[in-house]
Amino acid sequence: MYAIVRTGGKQYQVACGDQLRVEKLEGNVGDSVDLNDVLMIVDGENVTVGQPVLENAKVTAKIAEHGKSKKVIVFKKKRRKGYRLRRGHRQMYTSLKIEEISA
Confidence band for 92, pLDDT divided at 50, 70 and 90: very high
Give the per-residue pLDDT at 15: 97
pLDDT digits (tens, 9 = 90+) for 8-67: 999 999 999 999 999 999 999 999 999 999 999 999 999 999 999 999 999 999 999 999
Distance (Å, whole) CA 1 – CA 45: 10
Sign of the torsion formed by the C-alpha atoms of 87, 92, 95 and 98: negative
The residues pairing with 82 across neighbouring beta strands, listed in sequence order, are none
Q: How far is CA 62 from CA 13, 16, 19, 70, 72, in A?
A: 16, 11, 10, 23, 28
Q: Which pLDDT score is estimated for 103?
A: 84
- Determine contact, residues 17/53, Cβ cutoff 8 Å: no
* Ranges of each domain in the chain: 2-102
Q: Model pTM?
A: 0.86
